[in-house]
């Protein structure tokens, strides 16, 4: 008897994780490195203007997350539904929209840079000049950031995760090198740090465009009518807003917190908040990397009703984000001096304020990790309303409410404490919601992540290695499982034909997942493998072992798609 060992999912997650981890650095590590280099070359006090401009970056993140990530999730779902035209439509609309929006953001930012700087510096008017200089150089790179990041999401969904990894890695190296050149050798100061970031985005955009020259890519641009274009864009925004809304609320939260810190703590407080916020860039590398690895996999497997596969991925993802957040939390609570050293904080007025803020702020890391992952998970299983509510509570309503109340009651410390309180209350809300759904559905949905469970009596999950004998034995075992069903022999034959052809058309194929669902009207056979493209609907006379014509005669319907770098085949046989 065969059982599923999840080796296919484990290897696919591992294949995507490291490249996605590095890809997630694009929106975070550049600003983190900018902060380090600015502090080292021209003093930690210059972190204040960078922190004040941070809401602009989070707003741009909102745009490319909402359209880029939202579009890539819908693209993955369309592939799972074997609809290539729809997947290409989501791809075309997302990329074209983001390039256009990025250009508009740059034009608007340059035209109104002075007014925007004055708005951002409402509680620190003496910083307007520095903020305007940094902002103007940074806004130039926004079209390239939008294009590079959105394309990276689709490339990963197309099963080519190494290309975004290389492009983002080189973009970050270029940014670091240009930081030193522009600031130290050209004496450009804060504007040099921003221009270095924009240069990195430009180089990364050029490199990631190599995707369009790759033979193995499956996504391509297609022409759409205006009405269709905006209908697809509406669907993308609706799908992507739930997870991207975290960036909207973060933008608003930063604006309010910057204002409160300026009032209750002063410039040292803005420097402290800048370092606390920059510490999140380290954490978000792991959170975004994990969540964006999880999201397309979960969306595909949930769509195919493979709930045990979803459960495996979410547990693996949760372990990663909790472990990384806990490690960073302990590090900065016990040894906050590490960040003071990195940021060259030496001003006696700043040191105690930064140390105190870091120790309190780091308590919130684990809660941030859990709520962040949950937001992406809810979007991946198409619970967009839940994802939006969580984002609104955790990202804006709770922290801002707590910050206003506690800062008025106990001063500056209340602002730092408000972040941990917001995370705790959000997790309690999720727990209460999960229990409510469990009772409402009589246990159909259960657990913290409200996932369904496969019906063990009617769903059989199997994993085999690429061995013909194993394939033959598995087909016999399935026939025994379905004993008494008139279609059992046909199902057995269909599985054997499909598996043998997969094995014979590949030099090696390590793992094949087979799931058989015995429904009332039909029996569905879902097969996933990591081999070369093999569409059983199309008979190939050049293949020596291809007797797939037998399968096509047996099956009532065969759906095939290349998704997440896997062959995904669903064979339908009617119950007689």
Q: What tens digit of pLDDT does each residue of 252-265 get?
A: 888 888 888 878 88
Q: CA angle, 16 as apex, 461 and 145 as ends, to 5°? A: 140
Bridge partners of 563?
A: 566
pLDDT for 545: 47
CB atoms closer than 10 angstroms to residue 544: 6
Strand order in the sheet with 522-529: 459-464, 512-518, 522-529, 566-574, 557-563
On average, the pLDDT of the chain sits at 84
What is the CATH architecture of 459-574?
A: 2-Layer Sandwich (3.30)
For 570, list phi and psi in degrees, rounded to 5. Answer: -120, 120
- Between 7 and 243, the more confident residue is 7
Helices 7-23, 307-334: inter-axial angle, 10-degree rounding: 40
pLDDT higher than 70, residue 23: no
pLDDT for 1: 47
| C-alpha to C-alpha distance for 339 and 361, rounded to whole angstroms | 13
Look up residue 406 and give its two tokens: 């506690």
Domain regions of the chain by residue span:
7-440, 459-574
- Between 464 and 145, the more confident residue is 145
Give per-residue pLDDT as tens, 382-420.
787 888 888 889 888 999 999 999 988 888 889 999 999
**pLDDT interval class at 539 (50, 70, 90):** low
| C-alpha to C-alpha distance for 47 and 24, rounded to whole angstroms | 22
Q: Which of 499, 503, 509 is nearest to 477 (CA)?
A: 499
For 561, list phi and psi in degrees, rounded to 5. Answer: -150, 150
pLDDT higher than 50, residue 114: yes
Q: Which of 87, 21, 61 is nearest to 564 (CA)?
A: 87
Output b/e per residue, 255-279; b: 16+ Cβ within 10 A. Answer: bbbbebbbebbbbbbbbbbbbbbbb
Asked if 479 contacts 496 with a C-beta cutoff of 8 angstroms, the reply is no
| C-alpha to C-alpha distance for 568 and 526, rounded to whole angstroms | 7
Q: Which own/partner pairs from 397-406 qualify as long-range (CB within 8 Å, at least 24 positions apart)?
A: 398/422, 398/425, 398/426, 399/253, 399/257, 400/252, 400/253, 400/256, 400/257, 403/256, 403/257, 403/260, 404/260
Give per-residue pLDDT as tens, 338-382.
888 877 777 888 889 889 999 999 999 999 999 999 988 888 887
Bridge partners of 573?
A: 523
Give the global pTM: 0.71
């Amino acid at each position: 008897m065969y059982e599923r060992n999840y080796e296919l999912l484990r290897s696919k997650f591992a294949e995507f994780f490291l490249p996605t981890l590095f890809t997630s650095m694009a929106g975070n590590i550049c600003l983190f490195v900018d902060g380090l280099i600015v502090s080292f070359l021209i003093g930690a006090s210059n972190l204040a203007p960078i922190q004040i401009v941070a809401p602009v970056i989070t707003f741009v993140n909102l745009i490319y997350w909402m359209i880029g990530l939202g579009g890539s999730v819908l693209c993955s779902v369309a592939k799972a539904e074997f609809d290539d035209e729809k997947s290409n439509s989501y791809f075309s609309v997302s990329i074209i929209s983001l390039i256009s929006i990025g250009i508009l953001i740059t034009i608007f930012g340059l035209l109104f840079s002075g007014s925007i700087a004055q708005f951002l510096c409402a509680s620190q008017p003496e910083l307007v000049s520095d903020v305007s200089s940094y902002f103007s150089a940074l806004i130039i790179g926004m079209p390239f950031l939008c294009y590079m990041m959105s394309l990276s999401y689709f490339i990963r969904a197309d099963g080519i995760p190494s290309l975004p990894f290389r492009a983002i890695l080189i973009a970050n190296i270029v940014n670091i090198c240009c930081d030193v050149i522009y600031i130290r050798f050209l004496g450009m100061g804060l504007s040099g740090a921003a221009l270095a970031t924009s240069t990195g985005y430009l180089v990364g955009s050029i490199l990631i465009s190599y995707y369009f020259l790759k033979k193995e890519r499956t996504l391509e641009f297609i022409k759409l009518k205006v009405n269709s274009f905006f209908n697809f864009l509406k669907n993308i925004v609706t799908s992507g807003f739930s997870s991207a809304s975290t960036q909207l609320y973060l933008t608003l939260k930063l604006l309010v917190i910057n204002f409160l810190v300026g009032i209750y703590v002063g410039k040292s407080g803005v420097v402290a908040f800048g370092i606390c916020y920059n510490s999140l860039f380290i954490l978000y590398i792991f959170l975004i990397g994990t969540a964006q690895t999880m999201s397309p996999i979960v969306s595909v497997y949930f769509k195919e009703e493979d709930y045990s596969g979803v459960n495996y991925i979410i547990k693996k993802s949760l372990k990663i984000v909790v472990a990384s957040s806990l490690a960073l939390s302990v590090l900065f609570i016990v040894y906050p001096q590490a960040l003071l050293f990195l940021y060259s904080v030496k001003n006696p007025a700043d040191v105690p304020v930064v140390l105190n803020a870091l120790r309190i702020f780091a308590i919130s890391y684990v809660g941030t990790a859990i709520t962040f992952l949950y937001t992406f998970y809810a979007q991946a299983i198409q619970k967009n309303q839940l994802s939006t509510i969580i984002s609104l509570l955790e990202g804006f309503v709770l922290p801002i409410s707590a910050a206003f109340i506690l800062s008025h009651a106990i001063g500056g410390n209340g602002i730092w404490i408000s972040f941990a309180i917001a995370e705790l209350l959000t997790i309690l809300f999720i727990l209460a919601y999960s229990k409510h759904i469990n009772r409402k559905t009589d246990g159909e949905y259960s657990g913290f992540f409200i996932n369904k469970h496969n019906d063990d009596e009617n769903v059989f999950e199997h994993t085999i290695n690429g061995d013909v004998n194993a394939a033959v034995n598995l087909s016999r075992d399935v026939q025994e499982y379905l004993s008494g069903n008139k279609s059992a022999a046909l199902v057995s034959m269909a599985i054997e034909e499909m598996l043998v052809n997969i094995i014979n058309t590949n030099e090696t194929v390590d793992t094949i997942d087979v799931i058989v669902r015995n429904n009332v009207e039909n029996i569905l056979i879902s097969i996933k493998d990591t081999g070369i493209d093999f569409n059983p609907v199309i008979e190939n006379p050049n293949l020596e072992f291809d007797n797939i014509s037998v399968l096509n005669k047996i099956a009532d319907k065969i759906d095939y798609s290349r998704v997440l770098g896997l062959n995904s085949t669903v064979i339908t046989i009617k119950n007689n």
